Amino acid sequence: MARSHLFFLPMKIQYQNHYCTVFESALYRTTSTIIQLEDAVLLVDPNWLVLEIGYIAAFLHNHIGDRKLYLLFTHSDYDHIIGWKAFGDSTAIASEAFVNNPRKESILKQIREFDHNFYIRRSYETAYPEIDIVISGNPESLHLGRNSLQFHQTPGHNRDGIFTVIPELRLWVAGDYLSNIEIPMIDYSINDYAHTLRTAEKIIQSGEVTLLIPGHGDIATDRKEMERRLQNDMQYLQMLREGADQEKVKRFIYKNYIDNPAMMAIHADNMKKTADM
């Protein structure tokens, strides 16, 4: 009998190629990504649990060599920044809106509440990340050694998201957009969300990416799958704007996801929030 199932890693590696490793947390299938560039290593949104963050740190330790570590935050939602101080000596990158976030205290409170609720003890301090490289342009390029990164501002889900495209690697880190397991969560602005989806459309149509890494759920390597997610999310936004009835939304969710009550709760939340936008 094969016994390999008895041995498991502290965290799932969802995808790996020779320059990119996508880790998947047991919680909300949140992704953390390590991208090995020529002269630098980029770590995106290290999260959630103590063993998981320790595993990511050990992986880094084994692979970084003499390269410099950069930490990239796709946005400031607490699940995406929870691991910051475990990598506190790195150079951190995020958007200007991330730095000017008026809700820093309430985000920190969410982290503390999460850790209290589950009696989690971390070996590092939890804090709102201090950012060394602030991305204010749209688009904006950044050179890290011999590689270049392109950023796009992506408000909508929250107010401070960014897309990161690395053309040489044909890779796209999307943050909490284009997930295959979650309907759009519109916490900031439905109009900005729609605009961000148009930015996504341009990136897909350019044909310059062959790997999409969302914040939750599965990566996509197929252009048709990227387009399917885009159309799906555009359709959902349209339904929200029309004030589609519950039955229609339920059918949409059942067809495109699983019959997940959490999605209906997100939808109810979206309706409440977008009514005031």
Q: Which residues bind Zn ion (CB under 5 A)?
A: 77, 79, 176, 215
146 Cβ partners below 8 Å, 6+ apart?
A: 37, 38, 39
Q: Which is nearer to Zn ion, 144 or 219 (CB)?
A: 219
Q: Quick one: 47 or 147, whose CB is closer to Zn ion?
A: 47
- Decide whether 110 or 148 has the Cβ nearer to Zn ion: 110
Shortest Å distance, C-beta 182 to Zn ion: 8
Nearer CB in complex with Zn ion: 79/233: 79
Gap between the Cα atoms of 192 and 171, Å rounded: 23
Please, are residues 236 and 183 in contact by the beta-carbon 8 Å criterion?
yes
Q: Are strands 162-166 and 171-175 parallel, antiparallel or unpaired?
A: antiparallel
For residue 130, the minimal CB distance to Zn ion (Å) is 21
Q: Quick one: which of 53, 55, 108 has its CA closest to 77? A: 108
Least CB distance from residue 248 to Zn ion, whole Å? 26
**How far out from the chain centre does Cα 15 lie?**
15
Pairing verdict, β 147-153 and 162-166: antiparallel
> Closest distance between Zn ion and the C-beta of residue 265, in Å?
15
